[in-house]
Amino acid sequence: MSFHPIQIESAIARRGRLNQLVSVDQIKRQVQEFASFLNHPSHYGEKSEQLIIVPILSGAVPFYVDLVRELGDQSLSEVFFVWSSSYSSQRVQKPVEERKLVLAGNTDLLRGKRLLIVDDVIETGATLTKVCRRLKRYKPADIKTAVVCRKKGRVSEMEPDYHLFEIPDVWIAGYGLDGSTGRYRGLRWIGEVSVSN
């Protein structure tokens, strides 16, 4: 069994001050398909109960919640979060050495477990790389990564193992992404933020 991202070429609608790229229905379907993929015996075999999903806060929270609901009993009930500061208030990525990384959870739970790190979007791959390196210290059995969006044409130092959507290289907001102002994070769909917003 395999999982395939949806290719998004351009906006599907104008919604307020955003151009909608990914609809609520598309997100729901892809999360359901990804959960089915993770639940399939060929993916983790009989040890799927040892999967711990680790969201990178704050952008990955909607993806994390939706995925855990779809997985049902298949993911562990332990809660483990990672917080990373990737952007300044001017939409500029911080250099890796300036990014703070905070782990929230019992690191002893990670030993011997299969981790799935989830994030909202991958651009340079610096955040995922830093998080994976840090979590490897706690000797998990395996680390995989999944993001909601991967931007076409971007060269990343780390490619995620899975992504739900491949989108144009534009500034996005919604479904956990805040567009640097915090005002779009609660949207249930993903849109392109125009430079004038």
CA distance 143 to 163: 15
- Quote the tokens at residue 124: 């340079």
Measure the CA–CA gap between 68 and 74, rounded to whole angstroms: 8
- Pair of tokens at residue 171: 């500034």
In the chain, what's the furthest Cα-to-Cα distance? Answer: 51
Q: Please, what sign has the CA dihedral across residues 39, 68, 156, 3?
A: positive
- pLDDT one-digit tens code per residue, 118-131: 999 998 898 899 99
The token duo for 192 is: 């392109």
| Contact criterion met (CB below 8 Å) for 119 and 55 | yes
Residue 48 has pLDDT above 50, yes or no: no
CATH of 6-38+46-193, one of 4.10.520.10, 2.40.50.100, 3.40.50.2020, 3.30.70.1060: 3.40.50.2020
Q: Which long-range contacts (CB under 8 A, 24 or more apart) does 32-36 make?
A: 32/70, 33/3, 34/3, 34/67, 34/70, 34/146, 34/162, 34/164, 35/67, 35/70, 35/71, 35/74, 36/70
Q: What is the pLDDT of residue 197?
A: 42
pLDDT band per the 50, 70, 90 thresholds, residue 44? low
- The predicted-structure confidence for 146-174, as pLDDT tens digits, reads as follows 999 999 988 888 999 999 999 999 989 99
Give CA–CA dist 39/169, Å, rounded: 31
User: Residue 134 has what pLDDT?
Assistant: 93
